[in-house]
Amino acid sequence: MEITKTIFKGAWPYQKDAMSLPVASVDEAVSFYETVMGFSQTGKEEKPFRRILLKRDAVQIGLAENSGDPAQDGCFFEVDNVEMAFTEMKARGLQRDTADYDWQRYGDTLWKVFFVVAPDGLCYCIGERQPG
């Protein structure tokens, strides 16, 4: 079955750095990002801490064993089509029946969004800019 892909256009971390999102084990966490979220590994680092670098479209993130709290971090991902993003992730194995879309305004921009909490505890808001 061919999966229709949405385009990831941007990423904004909740804390300081989308390239050092905290996880307990990069080896255990990476499968979710590759399988369900459609990211590809672009590199690995061992110092100053273990980190796996991931990329999808214009977005780059890093999962890091840096002693941070994953329950307090994550990213906002801008996509070209939020409904297609949910459909794609569900087809890739996301264990959810509904997206439970929400509307959020940041400044003058209205976003249609849904949230995904990865097995590692990181939370992601996936959103599409709305006209007007």
Q: Tens digits of per-residue pLDDT, 55-102?
A: 999 999 999 999 999 999 999 999 999 999 999 999 999 999 999 999
pLDDT for 1: 57
Q: Are 30 and 41 in contact (CB under 8 A)?
A: yes
**Does pLDDT of 132 surpass 80?**
no
- Please report, as a single letter, which amino acid is at residue 63: L
Task: For 8-129, give the CATH class.
Answer: alpha beta
Phi/psi of residue 33, each to 5°? -70, -40
pLDDT for 59: 96
pLDDT for 130: 95
Whole-angstrom Cα distance, residue 62 to residue 13? 11
pLDDT for 118: 97
Report the DSSP beta bridge partners of residue 2.
none
pLDDT digits (tens, 9 = 90+) for 15-65: 989 999 999 999 999 999 999 999 999 999 999 999 999 999 999 999 999
